[in-house]
Structure 1
């Protein structure tokens, strides 16, 4: 039988995306307005710009004939699967997102979602983290998810409190040194 009559199979084994950060079962998907807007703009860019551009490339490549050795076609189909997977992921996450305004706690000394917390561990080393949603954290920027162990230990603590964090080596005590929130946006017209 000629290869022309074999069925094309889209395999996703080699292009699996990493698993999405988990949202607690029955929990909320808390996110800041900035994080929500970033995810939303990514979704619309994929739908309105990236996907149509790749569809055009795949259409052009398919019209060139033999698809089995056509790199533009094969790469385009793979990229379309990646885009469609990301669109599904973003759509699902945005549907269950609950936007939280951390500036409501501006001036407070208790740790809630959106707080930037400075704490000291047992050895006196100070660390500063910002507690954000699972879909918006960037650990290289000192951000942690609100479901992470350190954030769970810090939530609801106040400046001066000592909280216990269970780590693989035992239990570590963290002293909350400061809590900051973003200032409320001035919505007054200029």
Structure 2
């Protein structure tokens, strides 16, 4: 079975590559040193530092594996080539929230880059799915737990 492609912006790709480098070059060495120091304390059966270091090592290796899998299956969106006639991953969008009478900006990104605090929403989220393919002037409806939200698309730009 073919792995599902992970959509990434160039910025998202760079961020993951930097994290992977940091984990492999620095974090692995740090945790190996912690394990070595804990072993030198003697009895490992009741050594909390050793157990904590081994747990940290497992977490680091799991994250390395996760990032490598994402990068292996990455489909990178080139923001310069994004079609501004309709919303897609790599766009920055300004919408009008009909219910709350306010303008909101979203950056449409792949699921691994989503971060609501930075205004980055996943193309797989309810709002992202509703906005993908919409054009300037379109109004989209989004079914949310709190009810149906309506957004009118005001602007579509490159997310640079």
Higher strand fraction (1 or 2): 2
**Corresponding residue pairs, total:** 158
Q: Which residue of 90, 95, 102 corresponds with 1:119?
A: 95
3-state DSSP class of the match of 1:135?
Answer: helix
1:24-75 C-alpha deviation (Å, 9 max, x unpaired) = x974310011111111111121111111221122123213211133232121
Find 2:141's aligned residue among 152, 159, 164. Answer: 164
Normalised by the length of structure 2, the TM-score is 0.89
Q: Secondary structure at 1:69's aligned position in 2?
A: coil
Structure 2 unaligned spans of 5+: none
In our comparison, the structure showing a higher alpha carbon Rg is 1
Name the CA shift for 1:80/1:33 in 2 (closer, same or farther; >3 Å): same
Question: Structure 1 unaligned runs (5+)?
Answer: 1-24, 184-190
- CA distance 1:52–1:136, change in 2 (3 Å): same
Task: Indicate the residue corresponding to 1:45 in structure 2.
Answer: 22
Two-structure CA RMSD over aligned residues (Å) = 1.9
Residues 129-162 of structure 1: CA deviation (Å, up to 9, x unaligned)? 1001111122101110111111111111111111
Structure 2 residue 141 is the aligned partner of structure 1 residue 155: no
* TM-score of the pair, normalised by structure 1: 0.76
Residue 51 of structure 2 is aligned to residue 74 of structure 1: yes
- What SS does the aligned partner of 1:49 have? helix
What does residue range 121-136 of structure 1 map to in structure 2 within 5 Å?
121-123=97-99, 124-136=101-113
